[in-house]
A and B are shown apart, each in its own frame.
Chain A
């Protein structure tokens, strides 16, 4: 186990505990909630009396978030243990290959959602030169997509912790 370690710095011991893993999953849910409500805030604010401009949040602003969430769902639904199951192990009929294809689609959807958020921000808010109180809607769109990415990273890391934990327990 110690011989095939790749990195110089070893992971601290407390990261392998059940407590840290559960906290990571809760934090991922909280981050996703923050992302959703940041976007919802921009939609509600655009219909409120504060919004003096003619710009409003439409379905186009929601589309990047839908794509990022779909990517997050795909990424975290794949069984991580099948990724390392290469040709020598019991994974018949190319499970590792399928897992890589599905993971690629998930990451493409996540990155596409983030890029779509930047596109909406540039085309709808930055290029027409929207003044500041209305510009908040575009910035909130960017923040929401970044938070979805962060949430899926946290969820991924804590699920990988879970593998180490169950490995230690099964020995």
Chain B
């Protein structure tokens, strides 16, 4: 696990700002504010994993219900991550947003989610043990 320094924080916040810029531009340029749902989706995406991670005891191998709760969280996180890509495609297919707006919101959403994931990876070490 690489050590997270000041440069990492600056780079991550820069990437997050670029992601938000892309999503907001994709809304504002075409006056259709549906792509903001992508931001909500990607912010909600780590939440099931987080909640179920606190509910379960992963060291408990005798009773496998703990692993089942963890799996439930992973299932919903996977659901939300794919939803963030599928939602702009759906909106563009029905002409609710235009195709460039779809591309911009998908790229922006992936940047936002990548920032959240790498932030959690870099700063997870302090929580364990």
Contact = CB atoms under 8 A, between A and B. Distances in A.
A14 interface: no
Contact of B74 (A26, A37, A47, A169): A26
Given A41-B90, A45-B93, A162-B64, A26 B77 contact: yes
Contacts of A81: 64
B64 A166 contact: yes
Nearest to A136: B93
Contacts, number: 80
A162 B67 contact: yes
Contacts of A79: 64
Interface residues of A, number: 30
| Majority secondary structure, B binding face | helix
Given A166-B61, A166-B67, A29 B77 contact: yes
A25 B81 CA distance: 13
A30 B76 CA distance: 8
Contacts of A22: 74
A32 B79 contact: yes
B66 to A, nearest CB: 11
5 contacts: A33-B82, A33-B83, A50-B95, A159-B71, A162-B64
Interface of A: 22, 25-34, 36-37, 40-41, 44-45, 47-50, 79, 81, 155, 159, 162-163, 166, 169-170
